[in-house]
Amino acid sequence: MKLMKSLLAATAIIALAVGAAQAKQLIYCSEASPKHFDPAMATGGNDFDASARTIYNRLVEFKHGETAIEPGLADSWEISADGLEYTFHLHPGTKFHTTDYFTPTRDLNADDVVFSFERQFKADNPFNAYLADSQYEYYEAMAMPSYIKEVVKVDDLTVKIVLNSPNSPMLANLGMDFASIVSKEYADKLQAEGKAADFAAKPIGTGPFQYVDYQLDSVIRYAAFPDYFKGKVALDDLIFAITPDTTARTQRLLAGECDIMSYPNPTDIASLKDNPDLVVLDQAGLNIGYMSYNTTVAPTDDVEVRKALSMAINKPALVEALFGAGNAEPAKNLIPPTMWSYNAATPEQEYNPEKAKEILAAKGVTEIELWASDRARSYNPSFARSAEIIQQDWAAVGVKATINTVEWTQYRIDGAKADRPGAFQIGWGGDNGDPDNFFAVLFGAAAIGTQNYSIWNNAEFEDLIKQGVLETDPAKRAEIYTKAQEVMTREEPAFLMAHSTIYMPMSKKVIGYTMDPLAMHRFDNVDVAE
């Protein structure tokens, strides 16, 4: 009897131990609280990590670690010869999450896809303004209202997106977070119950993880979705431990309170790499730090002055001093080398202070305004520091730069003004891996007043970026954007500074994490060692 009891006890302990070992949990120390869980209305990377990449899927998805597209909720698609109709065939039997607040009665179908888009552009859609201040910033920012004419249900598993004009980046746009597919059935239910606001607070998707709980500003909990259409993921539980302070985030990782963390301090990278319990992954970021010259205001309205000012800057020394050795690559094109259509033939920026001094003296340039902001960005960890270094380089060629430091939000307003003088430091992180997302968004004439801080309107460049959007052949598009880079090198609307490296430190027990060029944090392919 005693032996029997001991055996039973031992079995129970083993069962418990096995049970505990089977529950695979990953704790991610994230950098900020999500605004909510509706990716169509979000703008921040942390919002998307917490919703779009965990809870939802899109018709097409970005491949892990790449910017290439692969099937998502759509198994396949066709594009009409005129480039105006995109027909998607949905994966049959795709389930929505079942939670304690919603039990779906049907699988995903074309109604959900139509609803997911129409709520973003049709004012009469009941969910267009389901929150008092509903805004679909990304849908608008990606110029979708001008491109998408209608989204049509062909049959339950076929949906057609009709465009007003051809748009080559469209597929990449559909892989972006704002294009996440939500449940119409859930929206209808909430609408009927008068609880529409819950749509952003208690999300229902088809994604790899389902929402469990969010303690405001503290912890988000997810559980693996057992009926995920791509098969249940390896993890059982995913926890976002929201830790805004970078030092605290690093200490939590070191103390084992997190398994993986976002955005480490560049100065901590070396010591984190030396830690035997950690692995630090890195990847060239899909980003660019640069300094826009106002091409419409003297003295930087003169291309020779712009070129001379750039020539006076010791770019490799600047980049090393700013980011630390090996943490960034000096830029010679607007797009990073990892992006298709990168023009490897672009010559390195000439560093020739003597020649610069001569030109600037001849042009009578003795003073310039140099803009800096107070916020650290991944593409520039300190605008103030880079401004000081550039100021010294310019002083050496006889140009006195006055550093104008402005608070971040006001900075961008001032910078976008057409009469803003001088050189304005700024940068960009790509949204979808398409070159158009850099060239048109940052230097297109349509972006004057918003993102085109050079107030640059070059007819040749404009023509090229318009061709780039209309052209569907990838090889021809690459050729077009290669030429666009040549125009930029010739015209120097901006001093292109650096492409920074992105780091992701994690415990050695984390298996399979892939660095993402679009700076997304995805955990559907991650496992943890027993």
Partner 1 sequence: MLRYIINRLALVIPTLIGITICSFGFVRLIPGDPILALSGERGVSAERYAALVTKYGFDRPIWEQYFRYIGQVIQGDFGDSLATHRPVIEEFFKLFPATVELALFALVFAIVLGIPAGIFAAVKRGSWLDQGLMGTALVGYSMPIFWWGLLLIIFFSGYLGWTPVSGRIGLQFFFKPVTGFMLIDSLIAGKPDGFVSALRHLILPTIVLGTIPLAVIARQTRSAMLEVMGEDYVRTAKAKGLSGRRVIGLHALRNALIPVVTTIGLQIGVLMGGAILTETIFSWPGIGRWLVDSIYKRDYAVVQNGLLIVAVIVMLVNLVVDLLYAFINPRIRVQKS
* Cβ closest to partner 1, residue 138 vs residue 461: 138
**For residues 43 and 138, is the Cβ–Cβ distance under 8 A?**
yes
* Shortest Cβ 492–partner 1 spacing (Å): 23
Concatenate the DSSP letters of all residues of 36-56 into one string: -S-GGG--SHHHHHHTTTTT-
Q: Does 218 bind partner 1 (CB under 8 A)?
A: yes
Q: Which stretch binds partner 1 (CB under 8 A): 181-189, 282-290, 410-418, 506-514?
A: 410-418
* Shortest Cβ 192–partner 1 spacing (Å): 20
* Cβ closest to partner 1, residue 48 vs residue 228: 48
Q: Does 139 bind partner 1 (CB under 8 A)?
A: no
Q: Does 20 bind partner 1 (CB under 8 A)?
A: no
| HEC string for 490-527 | HHCCEEEEEEEEEEEEEECCEECCCCCCCCCCCCCCCE
Question: Quick one: which of 192, 215, 364, 530 contacts partner 1 (CB under 8 A)?
Answer: 215
* Shortest Cβ 413–partner 1 spacing (Å): 6
Strand, helix or coil at 172? helix
Contacts of 517 (CB under 8 A, 6+ apart): 65, 66, 67, 283, 284, 285, 286, 338, 430, 433
* Cβ closest to partner 1, residue 72 vs residue 435: 435
Q: Which contiguous run of DSSP H or E holds residue 105? A: none
Q: How far apart are CA 134 and CA 132, in angstroms?
A: 6
Question: Quick one: which of 146, 410, 508, 511 contacts partner 1 (CB under 8 A)?
Answer: 410
Question: Quick one: which of 78, 277, 407, 473 contacts partner 1 (CB under 8 A)?
Answer: 407
Q: Does 201 bind partner 1 (CB under 8 A)?
A: yes
* Shortest Cβ 255–partner 1 spacing (Å): 5
Cis previous bond, 226, omega within 30: no
* Cβ closest to partner 1, residue 125 vs residue 135: 135
Q: Does 412 bind partner 1 (CB under 8 A)?
A: yes
Q: How far apart are CA 2 and CA 15, in angstroms?
A: 20
* Shortest Cβ 32–partner 1 spacing (Å): 8
* Cβ closest to partner 1, residue 42 vs residue 108: 42
Q: Does 449 bind partner 1 (CB under 8 A)?
A: yes
Which string of x and - marks every residue 252-271 that binds partner 1 (by CB under 8 A)?
A: x-xx-x--------------
Q: Does 141 bind partner 1 (CB under 8 A)?
A: yes
- Beta strands 278-284 and 494-507, pairing class: antiparallel
* Shortest Cβ 135–partner 1 spacing (Å): 8
Six-digit token pair at 39? 């990716």
Question: Quick one: which of 87, 98, 135, 265 contacts partner 1 (CB under 8 A)?
Answer: 135
Q: Does 418 bind partner 1 (CB under 8 A)?
A: no
Residue type for position 78:
E
448 DSSP assignment: B
Q: Does 216 bind partner 1 (CB under 8 A)?
A: yes
Q: Which stretch binds partner 1 (CB under 8 A): 26-34, 74-82, 352-360, 495-503?
A: 26-34
**For residues 395 and 357, is the Cβ–Cβ distance under 8 A?**
no
User: Dihedrals φ, ψ of 194, to 5°?
Assistant: 70, 25
* Shortest Cβ 501–partner 1 spacing (Å): 19
User: With CB under 8 A, what is the number of residues at the site for partner 1?
Assistant: 52
Q: Does 127 bind partner 1 (CB under 8 A)?
A: no
Q: How far apart are CA 522 and CA 49, in angstroms?
A: 7
Q: Does 137 bind partner 1 (CB under 8 A)?
A: yes
Which string of x and - marks every residue 54-73 that binds partner 1 (by CB under 8 A)?
A: --------------------
341 DSSP assignment: T
* Cβ closest to partner 1, residue 101 vs residue 351: 101
Q: Which contiguous run of DSSP H or E holds residue 283? A: strand 278-284
- Name the residue among 445, 323, 333 with its Cα closest to residue 386: 323
* Shortest Cβ 437–partner 1 spacing (Å): 11
Footprint of partner 1 on residues 38-57 (CB under 8 A)?
43-44
- Name the residue among 91, 53, 45 with its Cα closest to residue 71: 91
* Cβ closest to partner 1, residue 251 vs residue 467: 251
- Name the residue among 499, 518, 500, 515 with its Cα closest to residue 432: 518
Q: Does 80 bind partner 1 (CB under 8 A)?
A: no
Listed as own residue / partner, the contacts of 341-346 with beta carbons closer than 8 Å and 24 or more positions apart are 341/435, 341/477, 341/478, 341/479, 341/480, 341/481, 341/482, 341/485, 342/485, 343/481, 343/482, 343/485, 343/486, 345/482, 346/485, 346/486, 346/489
Six-digit token pair at 113? 């896809």
Q: Does 247 bind partner 1 (CB under 8 A)?
A: yes
Q: Does 197 bind partner 1 (CB under 8 A)?
A: yes
Q: Does 213 bind partner 1 (CB under 8 A)?
A: yes
Let me know if 366 is exposed, middle or buried by CB neighbors in 10 A (0-12, 13-18, 19+). exposed
Question: Quick one: which of 77, 115, 117, 138 contacts partner 1 (CB under 8 A)?
Answer: 138
Strand, helix or coil at 186? helix
- Name the residue among 184, 46, 48, 35 with its Cα closest to residue 117: 184
Q: Does 196 bind partner 1 (CB under 8 A)?
A: no
* Cβ closest to partner 1, residue 113 vs residue 288: 288
Binding region for partner 1 (CB under 8 A): 27, 32-33, 35-36, 43-44, 131-135, 137-138, 140-141, 197, 200-201, 213, 215-219, 221, 239, 241-245, 247-248, 251-252, 254-255, 257, 406-410, 412-413, 416, 428-429, 449-451
